[in-house]
């Protein structure tokens, strides 16, 4: 009897210890049209620079980065997806599973890539992601000032409508690198807060619990003005 108790205590201790020691991992999927710069953005954030030669992504690529936030170590796993429509229909769905956040990317110099955003949002919804999974909208290539086709105003309205914060940046421009950093750091903070709440309420969460967990909307952070957001 005594031995049993000790054993169970020890294993409990061990599991607590391993939970504490374990880095928390957040899975983020990056989506948007072909050639908007998804690979460059994720590379900039995870690799610290703009890649000199990027190719079309076939299927999905995976990059990760470990961060220290408020003395806690967390790991962001970025799933960089192919932009061509055919891939998203039957290939990429596997990667929507258990995703913690979604980054929508459009090219500020290509109106069509912005106009396709509703299709990407539909796509996301089709994978029955929980409404509380944070989503952010990123306009890339802001360095190409002469070629801008998507105004900040237009993008902001769209972002507000969908309760997302909007970021405009350039993965290419070194002076914008901090901005790329800020985008993912914002997300990391949000995810961290999100999960802490869940952990408090549900020490052993499962996917259903996760969906039920309440989240502070990240949409308010930058969008501000809109009042008709449902989230």
Partner 1 sequence: MSLSSKKGKSRGKKKGLLKRKGSTGSSGSHGSGDIKIASDKKHKAKAIQEAMRSDPPDIANLRRLAISDGGLLRDDLRRKAWPKLMNVNVFEIPPKPANIRAHRDYRQVVLDVERSMRRFPANMKEEQRSRLQDQLVDIILRVLVRHPELHYYQGYHDICVTFLLVVGEDLAFAIMDKLSEYHLRDFMDESMDRTRHILGYLMPIVGKAHPELRDFLERSDVGTIFALSWLITWYGHVLTDIRHIVRLYDFFLACHPLMPIYLAAQIVLYRSEDILRVECEMTMVHHTLSRLPEDLPFEHLVSRAGDLFIQYPPSMLAKEAELEFLSSTTISCYEDFEMATNQKPDTVLRRRRRFGNSTAQNGDVKTVQLRKPTNLALKFAVWAISASLGAAALAVVNVVNEWF
Site for partner 1, rule CB under 8 A: 25, 27, 34-35, 53-62, 64, 77, 82-84, 86-87, 89-91, 94-95
- Comparing CB distances to partner 1, the nearer of 82 and 218 is 82
Closest distance to partner 1 from the beta carbon of 98 (Å):
9
Nearest Cα neighbor of 63 from 33, 103, 35, 90 is 103
- Comparing CB distances to partner 1, the nearer of 27 and 135 is 27
- CA-to-CA dists, residue 129 to 13, 59, 142, 184, 195, angstroms: 34, 20, 29, 20, 16
3-state secondary structure (DSSP) of residue 131: coil
**b/e per residue 128-163 (b: at least 16 CB within 10 A):** ebeebbbbbbbbbbbbeeeebebeeeebbebbbebb
Closest distance to partner 1 from the beta carbon of 62 (Å):
6
Closest distance to partner 1 from the beta carbon of 5 (Å):
31
- Comparing CB distances to partner 1, the nearer of 75 and 220 is 75
- Comparing CB distances to partner 1, the nearer of 112 and 201 is 112
Kindly list the strands in the beta sheet with 72-81, ordered across the sheet, starting from the edge strand earlier in the chain.
60-69, 72-81, 24-31, 101-107, 135-140, 166-168
N-to-C CA span, the chain: 52
- Comparing CB distances to partner 1, the nearer of 107 and 176 is 107
Closest distance to partner 1 from the beta carbon of 86 (Å):
5
Closest distance to partner 1 from the beta carbon of 217 (Å):
27
């Amino acid at each position: 009897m005594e031995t049993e108790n000790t054993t169970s205590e020890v294993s409990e201790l061990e599991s607590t210890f391993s939970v504490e020691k374990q880095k928390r991992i957040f899975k983020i999927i990056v989506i948007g049209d072909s050639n908007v710069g998804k690979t460059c953005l994720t590379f900039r954030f995870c690799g610290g620079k703009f890649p000199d030669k990027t190719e079309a992504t076939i299927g999905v690529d995976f990059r990760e980065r470990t961060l220290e936030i408020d003395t806690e170590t967390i790991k962001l796993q970025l799933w960089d997806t192919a932009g061509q429509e055919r891939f998203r229909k039957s290939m990429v769905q596997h990667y929507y599973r258990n995703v913690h956040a979604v980054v929508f990317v459009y090219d500020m110099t290509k109106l069509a890539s912005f106009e396709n955003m509703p299709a990407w949002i539909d796509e996301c919804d089709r994978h029955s992601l929980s409404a509380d999974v944070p989503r952010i909208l990123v306009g890339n290539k802001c360095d190409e000032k002469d070629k801008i086709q998507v105004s900040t105003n237009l993008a902001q309205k769209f972002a507000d409508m969908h309760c997302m914060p909007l970021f405009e940046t350039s993965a290419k421009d070194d002076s914008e690198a901090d901005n790329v950093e800020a985008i993912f750091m914002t997300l990391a903070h949000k995810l961290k807060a999100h999960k802490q709440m869940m952990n408090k309420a549900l020490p052993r969460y499962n996917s259903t619990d996760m969906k039920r967990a309440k989240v502070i909307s990240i949409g308010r952070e930058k969008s501000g003005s809109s009042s008709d957001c449902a989230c």
